[in-house]
Structures are given as C-alpha cells and as structure tokens.
Copies of this chain bind each other. A is one copy, B any other.
Amino acid sequence: MIYWFDLFGTAVFALTGLLAAKDKKLDWYGGVVLAMVTAIGGGTFRDIALGRTPVFWIQDDAYFWVILSTAIIATPFISRMHSPGRWLVWSDAFGLALFNVIGCQVALASGSSLIVAVFMGMATGTFGGMIRDLLVSEIPLVLRHEIYATAALMGGIVYIALYHLPIPSGVAECLSMVTCVVIRILAINKQWSLPKLN
C-alpha cells in the first residue's frame, strides 16, 4: 500500500515540476526534466549518499512510467492549471509527508543514526523541489520563507520518537504523516513563517 501511495506522491511532485516549467515558459522536454527532478531528486540523493545503488528508479522503472504518464496526461490541461490550487497543495503536503517517512525508514534500514535518519527524511521530501528551483534560476523557495522543511522535520521527529516503541509500524507512519500534513496546511492557512536571519 505504501508503494501505491509512493507512486501517487511521485505523480503529484511531477505535476508541480511541470507547473514550474510552464511558469518559466520551458518547452515540453524541460517540463519532463523538471517533473523528474522534482519527483525523484530527493530519493536519488538519499540513495546515493547511503550507497544504495543502483538508485530506486533504476531498480524499478515504474517511477519513470508514472512521471511520463503524468506529463503526457497533464499537458493538454496545463494552461488551465495554476500552481496554488487547493487540491494540489493538499496532495503536495501528502507527498511531502510520505516521502519524509520513506526517507526515514530507508536511512534507518541502512543503519543510520537517528539524526541522520531525520535529515534523510527531509532530504527525500524537499531536495527534489530544491533542484527544480535551482534549474529555473530561483533561490529555492524552501530556503526562503516557507514552513515546508520544518513540517517534514516535525514529522520525522514524531516517527523517530515512536520507532522504538512497541506499536505497529503503521501507527508510527500515520502519526508522522498526520503531523507533517497538519503543520504544512496550518502554515499555509495562517501564513506562518520562520524568522529571517539578520
């Protein structure tokens, strides 16, 4: 079941990449590259740093097909889609929460310490979007003023805290994801932000 959610999260992240490409007037190839980078960039970094190669999308090309299908299906409707649509924000928060948990799990399974596991969760959830922003010559949004990585951080801490308790792993996963999604959505609705450095 996590697997199907993972493919759904991949499709949602791919869509945000495609929308970024549209905003910058890239061509279709640029759109597919941004979709890929957003969807699999974080997990690729995680796998490479942990030494889990070939990386996940080489071992299982379902991720590629999902991204390509998303790009093909979404392209005819792209002119009518806008970045901050309500369902996209919720789906994106869900994708972030899920990728975050998966990143924590993969890192722990590879023998990482707890702090590295929390970081790898955040990296899995946020690095793809960071590389996407880099490719269109923007200072990544996540570094500037959004509670995005912070939501992932909180979800990761919840997951790690519950990880050693004698409860079913599904419960830890759910509570972590709920924490992350709730913080993310609240942050958007209440326009929370981290203090600037100065």
A residues sitting closer than 8 Å to B (CB atoms) are 18, 21-22, 24-31, 33-34, 44, 48-51, 53-55, 57-58, 61, 64-65, 75, 78-79, 107, 110-113, 115-116, 119, 130, 134-140, 142-145, 149-150, 193-198
Q: Do residues A143 and B110 form an inter-chain contact, with CB atoms below 8 A? A: no
* A137 CB contacts on chain B under 8 angstroms: 137-139
Residues of B within 8 A of A55 (CB): 49, 51
- Could you say how many copies of this chain the assembly holds? 3
The docked-state distance in angstroms from the alpha carbon of A138 to that of B79 is 25
Interchain CB contact under 8 A, A21 and B143: yes
**Inter-subunit contact A110/B54 (CB<8 Å):** yes
CB–CB A25/B138 < 8 A: no
A197-B22 in contact (CB<8A): yes
A28 to chain B, nearest CB (A): 5
A112 CB to nearest B CB, Å: 6
Most buried by B among A27, A113, A115: A27
Are B30 and A143 neighbours in the complex by a CB distance under 8 Å?
yes
Can you identify 20 A-B contacts, CB atoms within 8 angstroms?
A: A25-B144, A26-B139, A27-B193, A27-B195, A27-B197, A28-B195, A28-B197, A29-B149, A30-B143, A30-B144, A30-B197, A33-B143, A33-B149, A34-B143, A50-B53, A53-B53, A61-B116, A79-B198, A134-B134, A136-B139
A194 & B29 in contact (Cβ 8 Å cutoff):
yes
- Give complex CA distance A192, B68 in Å: 23
Chain B residues whose C-beta falls within 8 Å of the C-beta of A107 in the assembled complex? 58
Q: A50-B58, A51-B53 are in contact. List 16 more A-B contacts (CB 8 A).
A: A26-B139, A26-B143, A27-B143, A27-B144, A29-B142, A29-B143, A30-B142, A30-B144, A30-B197, A48-B49, A49-B58, A53-B53, A54-B110, A58-B116, A135-B139, A137-B139
